A = this chain, B = another copy of it.
Amino acid sequence: MRGMALDHAILVSLLEMPGSGYELARRFDRSIGYFWTATHQQIYRVLGRMAADGLLTVREVPQQGRPDKKEYSVAAPGRAALTRWLHEPIEPESMRHELAVKIRGAAFDDPAALIREVERHHRAHSDRLAHYLAGERRDFTGPAAPAPLDAGQELQHVVLRGGIAYERMTIAWLDDVLATLHRIGAATPPA
């Protein structure tokens, strides 16, 4: 078994709650998608493959007011495959930060021209942080949240705290980047 992380992300999401490809795609825009993205194309393809392999069961669900859907659930072999994967070691992630490439590239262009772009990223990450914090209040720390969290909720919460920490760190770093760009711009005016 190589990567296949999407397969496992789908298995986890379907164990948390069975659903259609469309619904999974929605979830990948929210919660689980905060740390693993996927398009609907990818999801439909993987669902089809896993169903053909017997890891998932499909149920046609007629709906009123909207097209029928295929609801997928995790079958016993799917759950076994997930358990096997959970016990395998995985490689620690390496970063993939395109903006960092741009920042280093700015040495061969006008560094000041990058300021607007960095500010745009700063806003995007600030929005994401606000979104995460709202979700945390709603589901875990607010008055409407379940009083004692169960194990699954504790785990979802700690993953969300990771997202929050990531956004805060990124925002602080982008402040550092902006200060650096301004400092360079002041010292060496644009060519």
Contact = CB atoms under 8 A, between A and B. Distances in A.
A119 to B, nearest CB: 11
| Size class of the A contact interface (CB-based, 8 Å) | 35 or more
A36 B100 contact: yes
A183 B154 contact: yes
A75 interface: no
Main secondary structure of the interface of A (DSSP, over half): helix
A95 B100 CA distance: 15
B99 A96 contact: no
Contacts of A97: 35-36, 93, 162
Contacts of A184: 151, 154-155
Identical copies of this chain, number:
2
A21 interface: no
Given A96-B36, A177-B158, A117 B89 contact: yes
Contacts of A157: 180
A161 B176 contact: yes
Nearest to A127: B92
Given A151-B107, A155-B106, A93 B99 contact: yes
Interface in A131-176: 151-152, 154-159, 161-163, 165-166, 168-169, 172-173, 176
20 contacts: A8-B102, A12-B101, A15-B108, A37-B94, A83-B108, A86-B105, A86-B109, A87-B109, A87-B113, A89-B117, A90-B117, A93-B96, A96-B96, A107-B152, A107-B155, A111-B151, A151-B184, A158-B177, A162-B173, A165-B173
Interface of A: 5, 8-9, 11-12, 15-16, 32-37, 79, 82-83, 85-87, 89-90, 92-109, 111, 113-114, 117, 120-121, 124-125, 128, 151-152, 154-159, 161-163, 165-166, 168-169, 172-173, 176-177, 180, 183-184, 187-188
